[in-house]
Structure formats: structure tokens, C-alpha cells
Amino acid sequence: MKSIKKIVLTGGPAGGKTTLTSRLVKELSSIGYRVFIVPEAATELISQFGIKPFGNCLSMFDFQYFVVSSQLHKEKMAWEAAQLVPEDKVVILCDRGVIDDKAYVSQKEFNQVIGRFGLTEKELLESYDAVIHLVSSSKGAEFAYNYDNAARYETLEQAREKEDATLMCWRNHKHRVVIGNSYNFENKIRKAMNEVYTILGEIPPAQVERKFLIGYIDEGDLAAYEPVEQIITQTYLKERAKGTERRTRKVVSNNAISYSYTEKRPISPMERIENERLLSEKEYIRKNAEVDPEYGSVTKRRFCFRYKGHYCTVDTYPTNADSAILDVQLNDKDEEVELPPEIRVIKEVTGDVNYQGHMISKRLTQL
């Protein structure tokens, strides 16, 4: 029986929604979900169509009509597409929902806007299964606030005001989760992802990961575990700032293709912020023109499956017919690793930089 969940990712400016969306696409597709993204309507209208309040004599009230109209149309298309795809498990992730527009107009004006579409606020709230609110970095993580989004114009103080207003917008939703900035950025994103897993009735992946070099294995050997197969291409890009790693990723899984960009930048000797965002195919091609010739690209065939409660991935490489790399996620670093009998471990390589993606890519580039 098909299960479709519609989840809103919201919060004030620069809260981590873009990174969270990209991570969710990557992880949920690896466990058999089809993920549809409904992009933020206001950002598209401003950055792609030049429709924005005040700048071209359009009032904020009139602008919200365009935003709501676009949002409703895209959500309807996503829902109809979800009915048609062969996957039984589907997630629709909305980068903000219609209710977010209350943060920019009065209650009376908001009611007038949605009234044009024959809707009430209660009906809109009930149309979303859950709301994940990521608190803006303008409140408690000011060092991470940036203007990477072309449509972001708010100062820190304005961002704080929008954060408070957005928080109030969704206060009546029956299943709202607020993720604050008391965690470091990675923990914040992980906590939000775990909440999504819970909403979907799935077991979140554990946080302790161990890596093994194993004898070569293919889908026939793993058939009993019903693996999800993916073809992943990672391309490492030229460094823009010292210590910053940049890469693109293309993932082909079932009938879907996704593209993403990841940037890992240091904020202290012991901590890095890892920002991710989804790309269009054109953006992906454009980014790959910046490939670092030293590291190049690497393509791998990945099999994702669960074994005795543990989430496992096996990566095989077309240039290596003798071995593969297995990742196992555990609940505790001292937990005993139990592997499928089909897998032959050569050695453990946890923490060995030579078996990380960029170094494998580098070796293949030099062949």
C-alpha cells in the first residue's frame, strides 16, 4: 500500500533547510523512498522571475498572492506525481509551506490571500503531516549567518524578527518539531533528520560508523537483504579557500536522478561546517567545469541494506574486481559487528584516509 507523507521544512533565514533537504534526499533514497522537493516559492519568484515586493512597485500583500499561487500549484503537482511513481514509500519535502506567508503580512491580509483560493488556515495546516522548524542561525549561531541564497536580503536583526514570526505561524500545527542552535551545526542537522525518520516510522541510522575492506561482492550475493542499488559519481572541485573541500554528487537510484553540491569549510581547528544543496542538471554540469585535476571524479556502485538492525552500504568500483568497501553504522563504538555470511572481511579501515572518497578518486585519476 502506498504511503505518502508531506513534510514542511521551515524556520528563519539561514537555519540549515538547504543542507537538511539535500541530506534527506541522499539518505531516504538509499532506503527505498522516492523523494519530491517543493522548492521555496518566494525564492524562485525573486531570483528567477524578478517578481519581488517593493522593488517593482508590488506590495507585500500582492506579492503573497504570487507566492501562495505558486506554492499551491507545485504542491499539487508533487502530490499527483507521488501517486504515479512505482515506489510505495514517498516523501514530499516542502521548503516552507503556505502558512509561512503569515510571517510577512497581517492575519487579516493572510486570510484574504488564501480566501482567493477558497482555503482556510485550518485546511492548510491539516494538509501537512509534520513541520520541522530549524531555528535561524541569526539566533545563537551568528557566525554561520550568510548571504549564499541569492534571494536572502535580511540583516541579522531582520532575520531574528522573521524567525520569531515564522515560529508563531506554525504554533497550531499538531506535529511541529523545533530544532534550536544549542547543538553544533552537524548535530542540528542530524537531530532534524532523526525527527523525519521518526515521522516516517523508520529507525534512524546510528552515529558510529565502521569501515571495512571486503572481498568483491555484487547484487546477487546480497539479494536476500533486498538492497537498494545506486550509481554514485562524486567529482572533487578546485579549492576556493584553504582547507575547504568542495564536491558534486550525482546519484542514480531506481527511476530518479539527483544532483548535489557539498562544501566543507573549517570554522575552528577541530570543527567544520558541511553545507549541502541540491542542484539542477545544468548547475551540476557548470560546477563540474571546476574539477580539480588532482582528484577528478570517481563512480561507484552502492548497495544499501539493513542487516540485523544495522544500516550497511557496500561500494564497488568498476576498476577494482577484487575488493569493495563496507560501511556499517552502529549504536556504540564497542558494539560487536555482525556481518552477513556472504561478506569476507579483508581488514578494517575505519579512520584510514586512504579509503575516503577523495583519496580513492585521486588514486583512480593517477592510473
Q: What is the pLDDT of residue 212?
A: 96
Q: What is the pLDDT of residue 57?
A: 65
DSSP-derived pairing of the beta strands 130-134 and 208-215: unpaired
* Beta bridge partner(s), residue 268: 271
pTM of structure? 0.85
Residue 184: all three cell numbers together = 553544533
Which of 360, 51, 128 has the alpha carbon at shortest distance from 234? 360
Q: What is the pLDDT of residue 320?
A: 85
Query: Between helices 41-49 and 60-84, what is the axis angle to 10°?
Result: 110
**Confidence band, pLDDT 50/70/90 cuts, at residue 144:** low
Residue 76: all three cell numbers together = 499539487
Select the CATH number that applies to the domain covering 3-200 from these four: 3.40.50.300, 1.10.1520.10, 3.40.50.150, 3.40.47.10.
3.40.50.300
Residue 308: all three cell numbers together = 540485523
**Confidence band, pLDDT 50/70/90 cuts, at residue 270:** low
252-261 mean pLDDT: 91
Q: Are 185 and 272 in contact (CB under 8 A)?
A: no
Select the CATH number that applies to the domain covering 208-365 from these four: 3.40.1410.10, 2.40.320.10, 3.30.465.10, 2.60.120.380.
2.40.320.10
Ramachandran angles phi, psi of 298, nearest 5°:
-135, 135
Give first-to-last CA distance, the chain, whole Å.
48
Q: What is the pLDDT of residue 337?
A: 87
Residue 256 reports pLDDT greater than 50:
yes
| 86 or 55, higher pLDDT | 86
Q: Are 319 and 364 in contact (CB under 8 A)?
A: yes
| 158 or 361, higher pLDDT | 361
Residue 150 reports pLDDT greater than 60:
no
**Confidence band, pLDDT 50/70/90 cuts, at residue 147:** very low
Lowest mean pLDDT among 13-17, 180-184, 216-220, 238-242: 180-184
- pLDDT one-digit tens code per residue, 179-236: 998 657 888 899 999 999 999 999 888 778 899 999 999 889 999 999 999 999 999 9
Q: What is the pLDDT of residue 55?
A: 62
Task: Report the chain's mean pLDDT, rounded to a whole number.
Answer: 89
Lowest mean pLDDT among 3-12, 29-38, 131-140: 131-140
**Confidence band, pLDDT 50/70/90 cuts, at residue 113:** very high
Q: What is the pLDDT of residue 152?
A: 47
117-146 mean pLDDT: 84
Residue 104 reports pLDDT greater than 60:
yes
The domain spans of the chain are: 3-200, 208-365
Q: What is the pLDDT of residue 206?
A: 77
Residue 49: all three cell numbers together = 522571475
